[in-house]
Structure 1
Amino acid sequence: MQLKVDSNGPYFVENGVLQITNVSHRDQGLFTCVARTPVDRDTASALLMVLDVPDAPEYLVLSDHKSRSVKLKWIPGDDHNSSTTEFIIEYEESQWEPGSWKELLRIPGNHNSAVAKLQGHVDYRFRVSGVNDMGRGRPSEPTERYKTQATAPDKNPENVKIEGHLPHEMDINWEPLLPIQHNGPGLEYEVFYKRQGVEEDWQKHTVKRHSFVVTNTPTFVPYEIKIQARNNQGRAPEPKIVSGYSGEDFPSAAPKNVSVEVMNSSVVKVSWTRVHKDTLHGHLGGYRVNWWRMRSLADFKKKHGDKQTLVFPGDRNDGVLPGLTPFSEYSLIVMTFNGRGNGPGSHLHNFKTPEGVPEKNPVFGVTDVQKHTASLAWAAPSEPNGILTGYLLEYQLSTYPYASRSAHLDR
């Protein structure tokens, strides 16, 4: 077939190159270019292959219907010169999310059938689409509906969490089963619990929600818990046992033997004796140190500073407080904390920081310049950080040689 080459058509020649617009599968084939002269002719040929995603599979049918499985079989669509690498089987159910298609499984591209394992008490439809290196093709037409029989749940809830927000309660929460995992009507959860290490029977409560609060528990004692799903057809397999604690209460004891070691003029190390675990009444969070500046030792007037806090997580007996003001008197207390809150504070402990370098003079200037003299004025530092004994004045000649000089001035 001779091509009609036209600048306004799908085929046109530009700079000796054949251009094809809006390429489709109909353009696939052998193209031959013929060059003619009055005395001779020559030809050159090229094979054009058009790549695309696979066509939709056809004649998708169901067979081997069983209570929890069904076999799907189909005829693959044209792969358009790029081999199909896999097929994606999707399902849609009519009860929980009708019209929403979800992936069920993937199988290799050299297969044209698969057995799908299904949930109980679900009204299914299926469709299949092919995938190649060009991408995913359109899905097949959906199958007729197939409803499975109701059965007991296959699994129990996961991610069981035990928390205690109040001293005599235990909150149990879990991730509920998805609606499609119910396998039948009447889904409920059986909550079993008992104290760990104590010879006693399991306590059981049945709920429809995915949480339960056990009341009147001892404060912060270990429990064993298991959650079992059931519906009108029966129970799920025996659940795993998880461990947790009943509610926490505030710690009842304060750290003792608090001491302070001065590291330098602005850093101290605080040490204490750990509180006994029986007085924690919860999971140890760590220790909290509150401190505040009482006064500067250079100014005997009482001057309370703002309270500052530093938290030291975990089970430890010391911590470092940085950023203190030199030559000052401080007070501090140490306390422990758990998930409920802080325990009582230790006895008040006072300590002093040694002298440090004075802060920068906030004001400095030249007030009067004469032929051989200059008058200077400055303000005392806002924090002398010690007993101020004098000032060091440094100056430099502005003409060569640029010699530096200094002078010590008494306070």
Structure 2
Amino acid sequence: MNKEVVIPYGAYWSTPFVRWQGSLSHLHSLHLAAHVAQAELGRRGIDLKAIDSGILGTTVPQKGAFYGVPWVTGRMGATHIPGTIVNQACATSVRGMQVAQSEVQTGQSDVVLALMADRISNGPHVFYPAPSQPGGTGDSENWVLDSFNCDPLTGLAMVQTAENVAKEYGIATQEQHDWVLCRYEQYQDALANDSAFLKRFMSLPFEVPDARLRKTVTTLTGDEGITATTQEGLARLKPVLPDGTVTFGGQTHPADGNAGMIFTSRERLAEFTSRPELLITVTAIAQSRVEPGFMPKAPVPAAQKALKAAGLEIAQIDAIKTHNPFIVNDIVMGREMGLTAQQFNNFGCSLVWGHPQGPTGLRSVIELIEILVMRGGGNGLYTGCAAGDTAMALVINVKEAK
């Protein structure tokens, strides 16, 4: 059985993304994800009883996370929904979307909720017992910071992978800063007309609850912690590593947030979409891995594989989004695929609004869908790197339903 899988227009959402140690740092990421999903599904008139499976994408453990989807959906009041956890670092969203699509396509489920959530703030400190060692002393790690600073395979920090690629391609600091300025200018378009673009998929103002989810403690008008960026300000920044090229301006910041999306069959599309004349489908998904220590190169081969699987050339793509923890990623993609900075990441990207890991890709895909809808349809490409010098990419199509 191979059903046609669709994403109902409007049956998706994202919270604002908030720089770590900001307004979401006190909240359990899975508690908040359930709280937000219940509210967003309610706003769309989607009955929880209609959902028969869940995919939870999360990369930073929270207390109780062992119980996964049944716990999260149970907190939403949907104790009938089973499901699975997906954790593939920064590629978690695309992998989660692939699992959701596969469940519907093969007939395992009719309606799947893909829910991605992470809190990078206040990540856990993990102790691993080692009773065979002298005194029983074990090993420990700071889950978030140690992962940023050391790939256990190569011993390299993530920023070093960006420097490795910058050196290979001859990418200087000034070129990086020029592309960074373009990305921040593109994000300003998302804020125009009282954040009209963001309000297409984000409930604003966003009420931040207390840790018990009982009362509002603050209200957000959009993403929190965006750094005001100018050419003069960037010029004052020094590279993070000695003799390097990548400054703090040329990389993203860790953040907190969540996002969700419904997948269903073509037959049930009318139950969940706010625009039944639109047909939104994922037409290809691909992955890649490059040589150790060169992570920012990985999105290009993933994108090329996804395009080939979809039977498309880059010239046939109408909109592109990337997860770009380093602007080096985008410069390499521009050179390899013949793109200018202005030709992709319109309305913003993770370089600007931050990186909560699990939900980052899903927000990007949601924005990609909205851009295609605003254009009147077409093909979209998303690609982004992930830990371990890997990447995942997908091609999405928006057209008139017939």
TM-score band, normalised by shorter chain: under 0.3
Q: Which of the two has higher C-alpha Rg? A: 1
**TM-score for the superposition, normalised by structure 1:** 0.17
The structure with higher relative contact order (CA 8 Å, sep 6+) is 2
**TM-score for the superposition, normalised by structure 2:** 0.18
Structure having the larger proportion of residues in helix: 2
